[in-house]
Each structure stands twice: as C-alpha cells, then as structure tokens.
Structure 1
Amino acid sequence: MTKNLLKNPCGEGNMESWEVTENGGDSWHVEDMPGASGHAFHDAAVTKYFATSYALCLKKQVVDLLAEGFPADYLDAQPPVTVEDWYCGRSDSGFLYELTVSLLDDNEKILQRFRPDEVAVDAEKDDCSWTKVTHKFSGYGPGLRFISFEHGGQDTKGWVGWFGVRVTGSSVKVQA
C-alpha cells in the first residue's frame, strides 16, 4: 500500500509540518469534526480539520522524495503521483477554495502543475458538504525530486472568526 507523504493531513498536530504562506484574517484554526454549522465526514477516523478565516489563508508542504526513500532512478521512471484533498464549508457562510500541487525537480523548477479553478460556494444556494478533489500526475518527465502541496481559501462574508473553507484528509502518494 502506498503511504501518504503529507504529515499531519487532518490537523491532529495543529499546524505542525505546515508552512503558512498566507495568514489572512484570524489566520488558520484547527477544529473538531463536524464543527459549528458543519457536516459529517465520510471517514470516522478523521476527527479534525483546518478552518480558514475572512481573508486568504494558504498553507503548504514540500515533500522531499529522496528523503522519503525514493531512489532517483525510480523517480526518473515517472511513477504515477496521486493527490487528494477534501474541502467543505459551514452551512451559514460561503467560501472560496483553492489548491495548487506542483511536481518539482532538484532545483525546484516546475515539471508539472495541477491547479483547478478556484471554487466559490454560496451556502444559500450550494451544497457545502465535504467534496473530494483528486488528480493523478503522469508523463511529467524525468527529474522529479519534490512535490509542493498548497491549499486554502477564505469566507465570502468577511465575518471575524473561522467561517471560511475547511480542509482535511489531504494526501500525496507516489506509486511504489
């Protein structure tokens, strides 16, 4: 079984292992599932999530694949890389969500990037329950050494507190 290379993907360790790249509003916050005006998650083992505030909040991890034990020749053979993220919102506030995952070479030059369109959800019109985003990289060329995973967002009402997008269950997996 391929392991998740992201550390602390569900907030059990608060913000440990994550680099905050945008710390808007009241910054990032870790809450217990399902949270105020929240939604149940499909996996009972996931008990926490990261919540964003009224201004843009982004956090990222850069995975060093050589340090994780992948040999350079194996990475140069371009094994499939699968990424996954889960997001939702409160039932009383809209939100914006974004995700950027980049495959990087040893100089951290981008080999391939996955950046879906920003998601805008209105709690009065849209389903704010947990939604999965997944992507499988292939054909990215030799030289893969790092994977950068960055995600986050904000609320659309400008409310003080943590009314923005919620994220959890993030993963980065290299086929072993």
Structure 2
Amino acid sequence: MPENLLKNPNGDEDFEHWELIENGGDEWRIEEMPGDCGYDFSVDYSVTKYFCTSFEPCLKKQVINLLENGCDPETLDIAQPAVTVEDWYSGRTDCGCIYKLSVALLDENQEVIAEFNPDDVTLDPDTDDCSWKKVTHTFKDYGPGLRFISFEHGGEDTKFWKGWFGVRVTGSSVTIES
C-alpha cells in the first residue's frame, strides 16, 4: 500500500501540519469516535478521532511538497504516476451539515495543473444516511510539472447551532502510485 503523504489525517496530533483557512463559529475541534449523535468508523477501528466543524464555514488545508517527500521530478514528469485522494466524512443524527473538498495538483510555482472540486454534499439526518462516506478521486495523465498537491476540506452545519454540529472528517489520504 502506498504511503499516505498527508500528515495527521485523523487529528491524532491536534491540528499539527494543517493550515486553518476558515475557522468560523466555535472553530474546528477534534473529537473521539463516535462522538455525540455520531457513527463508529467501522472501516478502520484504529482511527479513533475526527475533525469536527461548527456553525460557520470551517476549512483546513495541507500542501504537500512532493520533492521533499522523496518523489523524483523526472518520474513525475515522464511517468506521471496516478495520484489518488481519499477522504471520509459524516454527519450527526440530529443536525444537517455541508461537506466540501478541493484538491489541486500544482507545479513548482504552485499554479494549478489539475483539480478535483466535487459539488458540496449536504447531509440531512431526516432523509439521508449520515454515517461515514468515502469520496475518492484518481488523477491520471495530468501532464508534466507536478511538484505540490493541495488538499483542502471542511464544511459547517445547516442549522446554525452553536457548538460542533457540522460535518466530521477523518481518514484523509493522498497517495502516489509507485
């Protein structure tokens, strides 16, 4: 299995390695699984924490320097190995939420080569299954020049409730095919 290039994907190290882009409402928080009105992460029981958003937008980002992570520039330019991103999100049983994800492959000047910007997902516990869901995308044939990857995600709740009733995220990963 390829190495996850994202550091601290589950909140085990507080917010180390993450840049808080938006920190609205009562700000980001880290909670223990399953949390209030939450769901177990039965995909991987070693994941015991998640990041939780509040009632205003909360977004966090990590930019991965591929050369600092041991990637060879020639291999990146010629072979253009597949880059796979994965993220897990869930809601609560008592409040709706919005999940956002944006991933970009960047060149040496951090200009965009390719992007994955899926539509925001709104979860409503009255009509949706708000348990843990996976989103995944694989970049292929993106062209030469890849040097950085920007991974940004987050969201908020839909009822503007004070506290941490927004989307929950964990298990994030960015891997490069070897």
TM range (shorter): over 0.9
Map of 2:104 onto structure 1: 102
Alignment of 1:1-176 (within 5 A): 1-42=1-42, 43-76=44-77, 77-176=79-178
Deviation at 1:159, TM superposition (A): 0.5
CA apart distance, 1:124: 1.2
Q: Which stretches in structure 2 are left out of the alignment for 5+ residues?
A: none
Report the 3-state secondary structure (helix = DSSP H, G, I; strand = E; otherwise coil) of the residue aligned with 2:76.
helix
How far residue 80 of structure 1 moved from its aligned partner, in angstroms, is 0.2
Q: Which runs of 4+ in 1 moved over 6 A?
A: none
Structure 1 CA distance for aligned equivalents of residues 62 and 95 of structure 2: 27
Query: What amino acid sits opposite 2:169 in the alignment?
Result: V
CA distance in 2, matches of 1:47, 1:99: 22
For structure 1, the 5+ residue unaligned runs are none
Structure 1 residue 28: Cα displacement: 0.4
Deviation at 1:95, TM superposition (A): 0.2
Deviations 1:91-143 (A, max 9, x none): 00000001000000001110000010000111111111000000000011000
1:132 is aligned with what amino acid? K
CA distance in 2, matches of 1:167, 1:40: 13
Q: Which amino acid aligns with 1:156?
A: T
Alpha-carbon distance in structure 2 between the residues aligned to 1:174 and 1:111: 16
| Percent of matched pairs sharing the same residue | 61
Distance 2:75 2:157 in 1: 42
CA drift of 1:67 comes to 0.2
TM-score by length of 1: 0.99
CA distance in structure 1 between the aligned counterparts of 2:137 and 2:127, rounded to whole angstroms = 27
CA RMSD of aligned residues (A): 0.5
SS at match of 1:73: helix
Matches of 2:108 and 2:19, distance apart in 1:
20
State the alpha-carbon separation in 2 of the partners of residues 48 and 171 from structure 1: 15
Distance (Å, rounded) in 2 between the aligned partners of 1:26 and 1:70? 38
